[in-house]
């Protein structure tokens, strides 16, 4: 299917849609009465929606704001999966694929934020050396 919108060309957007599909399947195993059920659904849905909105913005600051929100939602999804494992609703092996994809999405969003914002503070990777006393 040809891309009609610029967001459809973004790997992170396509990956986030895959995560939405995965989380919909896992949600079938989660009782609807648990708050983590709705939270996971809302946060997973928020990721591609915020990526789309951010990608459509004209200023770097606006784009980054929505990419930040999408990043927060991906982190929230990973935490919701942790909660479900802690409550023994899901096993660690069931939650692991979702946590892996969430981490990938966060990483891709950080890259988008960095590429759209020269003025944001970034921590450089520093190698530390400890001398034996």
Domain ranges of the chain: 12-115
Q: Around Cβ 83, how many Cβ atoms within 10 Å? A: 17
Q: Contact, 40 vs 27, CB < 8 A?
A: yes
Percent of the chain with pLDDT over 70: 87
Rounded Cα–Cα distance for residues 45 and 30 (Å): 17
The answer to whether residues 77 and 23 touch, using CB atoms and an 8 Å cutoff, is: yes
pLDDT band at 105 (very low <50, low <70, confident <90, very high): very high
d(CA 111, CA 92): 28
CATH domain 12-115 topology: de novo design (two linked rop proteins) (1.20.1440)
The answer to whether residue 129 scores a pLDDT higher than 90 is no
What mean pLDDT is predicted for residues 4-19? 93
110 has pLDDT over 80: yes
| Alpha carbons 105 and 113: distance in angstroms, whole number | 12
Give the mean model confidence (pLDDT) for residues 97-102.
97
Return mean pLDDT, the chain.
89
What local confidence, expressed as pLDDT, does residue 82 receive? 96
């Amino acid at each position: 299917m040809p891309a009609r919108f610029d967001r459809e060309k973004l790997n992170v957007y396509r990956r986030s849609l895959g995560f939405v599909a995965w989380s919909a399947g896992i949600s079938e195993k989660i009782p609807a009465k648990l708050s983590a059920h709705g939270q996971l659904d809302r946060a997973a849905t928020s990721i591609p929606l915020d990526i789309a909105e951010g990608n459509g913005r004209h200023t770097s600051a606006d784009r980054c704001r929505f990419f930040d929100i999408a990043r927060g939602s991906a982190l929230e999804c990973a935490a919701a999966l942790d909660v479900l494992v802690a409550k023994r609703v899901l096993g660690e092996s069931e939650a692991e694929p979702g946590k892996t994809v969430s981490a990938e999405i966060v990483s891709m969003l950080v890259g988008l934020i960095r590429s759209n914002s020269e003025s944001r503070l970034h921590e450089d990777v520093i190698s530390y050396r400890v001398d034996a006393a």
